[in-house]
Each structure stands twice: as structure tokens, then as C-alpha cells.
Amino acid sequence: MFDPKDIRKDFPILSRTVHGKPLVYLDNAATSQKPRQVIQTLVDCYELYNANVHRGVHTISVEATERMEEARRKVSRFINAPSTEGVIFVRNTTEAVNLVANSWAMDNVGQGDEIVVSEVEHHSNLVPWQKVAHQKGATLKLLPATEDGRVDLSFLESIITQHTKLVSVVHISNMTGAINPVKEIGRRAHQVGALFMVDGAQSVPHMPIDVCNLDCDFLAFSGHKMLAPPGIGVLFGKVSILEKMEPFLRGGEMVREVWYDHATWNDLPNKFEAGTPNFTDAVALGAAVDYLDGLGMDAVRQHEIDITTYALKAFAELEELDVIGPKEAQDRGGLVTFTAGDIHPHDLGTFLDSEGVAIRTGHHCVMPYHRKLGLVATGRASFYVYNTNEEIDTLIQALKKALAYFAHAS
């Protein structure tokens, strides 16, 4: 049985207080908390087999290498990758996108070509493509969003054309929460011969993901949003494409042979993992995958639908708040982004913090779409496996107090 109250016992930080109040952590879209199982895995790494991987023949180096590669196998199974060769460890989603931008796009996009993203992209899936378009003389095109913040499929044929070389789209928006129809978008991209990349930072931690079913050429996601430490992420790529790409970084481990004037490259995935890898966090990511597998990703998704449904209903009772994004929880990830009239979100977030409630305030690295909506910033409450309806009640009560306070102050 999926019981968030029972799950909470695995997360030490959730028992602390903030300003004398029990912590209500609702900033999971930014980063998730870590269970004891993941924390202990890190401790074991440093206490029992801390050694460089892929290089040594001594026992602890071999043990460290085996654990890192087992973590890669776990991640591969988690996203149903055809093999581990296409599972590359990076620092985070941002690095994964930049790897594709520098190692694929710089060699395959040219004058007159097109790169397509959406209006609701995180800066990490926008700014790298701006650089490629500028340097290669290509055009960066935007798929418009519907009123509720989803990619508007009616524009697919007019925006994604025979000139399009790459389409890169966020799966779940970290601002609107909207779940984009990435499979349909990818189908159109492949129809015109373009490659298709998915930003899975907000989807991989929260729902079952099958890269074979999505038929994406690349998928990027971060470990820290799915119970693992920061500093570890994944780029999945189709092996047939990765094999033709030049390395992003060059140095140790990614080489096969080196002469004074040239070098040849190692096999996948090592070709894209230059230098000493962050093997401890990779192993911890494997432990996080084990934890999520134990819960069941279908159950994780259903819990988020349930708690988001509860939250949307509660938010609807506060007339002063405007919620951004799809109206139904089934159409969105586990987050609610909102505004509160003339109250600046930073002021609102500070007040909520005094009540022990942690939410996100700002533009959430989606500045252009905020600007399109005429907003400087928004508040965002985001949920994960350990959040409860009672915490939503606490959030709502804190919001009511905040609204009353600012109404009186004005």
C-alpha cells in the first residue's frame, strides 16, 4: 500500500521544524528530499569503497566500478532503455541538454536550418539552443502554448517543417505543470526527419517513462529531483546517434588510444564521461531508483494526481488566488503555480516560511513565458511521494493568514 505518512518516516529532514513550526516542504519541483536509504548509500560509498572507477585492479576500485555500473543498469531499466550504452551520467538536465547542443547540433545544424522548442521551456532547454542558432545561422522557432500552458498541437505542421533539424520540448512544465503530448510532437519531428529531445526533469521522477514507447532520440533528467543527490543526472540517447557524435569533453577515460598529435575515442557510454566521474552520486541515484521502484511509479503518479486534485480544490476556494495551468490534475504534474493579486510572490513566500511552509517564488527559470503572461513572478507549491493532504491544509491556512495580513497592511 502506498502510504505517504509511512513513507515520511524514511526522510529525516521532514521531522525538523522551521521558525518553531513543523516543516511543510512543498518545493519538490526545485529539488526533492532524500530518504535514509540514499543517504546511507553515500555513507557506504565513502566508508567502504571510495576509489577511482574504471582504472584500478585493486579490490575497492573494482567494487566501486561494479556499483557504478550496476546503478547505470538500474537507470536503464527504470526508463526502459534498450541498453546501458545509451545511458550517460552527467551532472544534471542542463548539462545533458548542453551535451546534445555542443556534440550533435553544432555539427549537424547549419545556415537556414530550424530548431524548435516551446513557449513554456525552462531556460536550460532554451538558452543552449539560442547559442546554436546564433552561431550556426539557424532559426529558433517556438511552438505556441494553449491558454492552460500546454503545447498547442494545432501548430505542429506549420512550425515543424522540412527545415527542422531538432525539436526539444519539456515533458512536464515546471511552471504551468502541464503535461505536454510529447509522443505526438516526436512523431511529427520524425515525420520531417528531425531528431527529438525530451526534457524529462519533471516527468521521470513522477511517472512511468518508457523511452522506447516515446521514441525520443534524447531524454534528459536530473537525480536531485528524484530522491538522489545533486550533481548527478542522465542523458539517454539512441546508440546509433551517440556513436556518430563527437565527445563533449575531452581528457581521461573517454579515450581509447592517445598519441602526441591525436587520439581515438572510447566506446559508449565512456566516450561522453570524461575524467573521474561522480560515481558516489551515481550509486546513490541507483539507490533512489530502487526506492522509487519499491513504491511503484504508477502508484507515485496516482498519489500526485490525488494530492494535486485535493490542492486544486482547496486553491479554488481562495478567490484572491489565480492558478496557472490545466484545471484537471490528470493533465498536470504535481504542482500548483499561482498569483495573489498585488501581493508580490517573494513577500508571500517569506510569510509562508514564517509558518514553516516552503514553496518556490520567482520566475522558476521560465522568464519569457512569465513575461508573455504579464507576470513578474509567481508562487509554486510542488508535491512528491511524502506529501500529505494535511500539509495542503496547512498551506491553505497559511495562505489565508498571509492574505489577511497583506490586506490589513495595505
What CATH number does residue 328 fall under? 3.90.1150.10
Does a structural domain hold residue 377? yes
Say whether both 17 and 88 belong to one domain. Answer: no
How many C-beta neighbours within 10 Å does residue 70 have? 14
Sequence-ordered alpha helix ranges (H) in 79-161: 93-100, 106-108, 127-136, 156-159
Say whether both 339 and 242 belong to one domain. Answer: no
Say whether both 118 and 164 belong to one domain. Answer: yes
Look at residue 5 and give its three-state secondary structure. helix
Say whether both 63 and 143 belong to one domain. Answer: yes
Give me 81's grid cell.
Answer: 532503455
Does a structural domain hold residue 34? no
Residue 96 CA to residue 208 CA, distance in Å, equals 20
Say whether both 82 and 172 belong to one domain. Answer: yes
Does a structural domain hold residue 356? yes
Q: Which domain holds residue 151?
A: 39-293
Number of domains in the chain: 2
Residue 135 CA to residue 127 CA, distance in Å, equals 13
Does a structural domain hold residue 274? yes
Q: How confident is the prediction along the chain (410 residues), in pLDDT tens digits per residue?
A: 799 999 999 999 999 999 999 999 999 999 999 999 999 999 999 999 999 999 899 999 999 999 999 999 999 999 999 999 999 999 999 999 999 999 999 999 999 999 999 999 999 999 999 999 999 999 999 999 999 999 999 999 999 999 999 999 999 999 999 999 999 999 999 999 999 999 999 999 999 999 999 999 999 999 999 999 999 999 999 999 999 999 999 999 999 999 999 999 999 999 999 999 999 999 999 999 999 999 999 999 999 999 999 999 999 999 999 999 999 999 999 999 999 999 999 999 999 999 999 999 999 999 999 999 999 999 999 999 999 999 999 999 999 999 999 998 76
Q: What is the CATH number of the domain that holds 139?
A: 3.40.640.10
Does a structural domain hold residue 286? yes
Catalytic residue among 45, 212, 216, 365: 365
List the beta bridge partners of residue 339. Answer: 322
Say whether both 249 and 104 belong to one domain. Answer: yes
Does a structural domain hold residue 191? yes
Does a structural domain hold residue 259? yes
Say whether both 307 and 376 belong to one domain. Answer: yes
Look at residue 117 and give its three-state secondary structure. strand
Look at residue 125 and give its three-state secondary structure. helix
- From 270, 293, 316, give the residue that closes a domain: 293
Inter-residue contact 410 to 55 (CB < 8 Å): no
Which residues does 77 contact at the CB level (< 8 Å), separation at least 6? none
* H/E segment holding residue 164: strand 164-170
End-to-end CA distance of the chain: 48
Residues in the chain: 410
Say whether both 164 and 234 belong to one domain. Answer: yes
Residue 45 annotated as catalytic: no
pTM, rounded to two decimals: 0.97
Residue 78 CA to residue 292 CA, distance in Å, equals 9
Say whether both 272 and 123 belong to one domain. Answer: yes
Say whether both 280 and 349 belong to one domain. Answer: no
Amino acid at 264: T
Which residues does 375 contact at the CB level (< 8 Å), separation at least 6? 339, 363
How many C-beta neighbours within 10 Å does residue 155 have? 17
Which pLDDT score is estimated for 1?
Answer: 79
Which pLDDT score is estimated for 409?
Answer: 76
Say whether both 358 and 234 belong to one domain. Answer: no
- Return the ∠ at Cα 399 (arms to 395 and 404), rounded to 5°: 155
* H/E segment holding residue 22: strand 21-22
Which pLDDT score is estimated for 410?
Answer: 65
Residue in the block written with cell 557510454: 269
- From 262, 293, 324, give the residue that closes a domain: 293
On the CB side of 240, CA atoms within 13 Å amount to 4
> Which contacts of 261-268 are long-range, i.e. CB under 8 A and separated by 24 or more positions?
267/85, 268/85, 268/86, 268/88, 268/239, 268/242, 268/243
- From 258, 293, 328, give the residue that closes a domain: 293
10 DSSP 8-state letter: G
The DSSP-derived string for 356-383 is TEE-EEE-TT-HHHHHHTT-S-EEEEE-
Sequence-ordered alpha helix ranges (H) in 51-114: 59-78, 93-100, 106-108
Say whether both 308 and 242 belong to one domain. Answer: no
What does each C-alpha distance from 369 to 118, 195, 248, 274 come to in angstroms? 10, 25, 30, 35
What does each C-alpha distance from 196 to 88, 215, 223, 237, 274 come to in angstroms? 17, 8, 22, 10, 25
Does a structural domain hold residue 152? yes
Residue 279 CA to residue 287 CA, distance in Å, equals 12
Residue in the block written with cell 548527478: 232
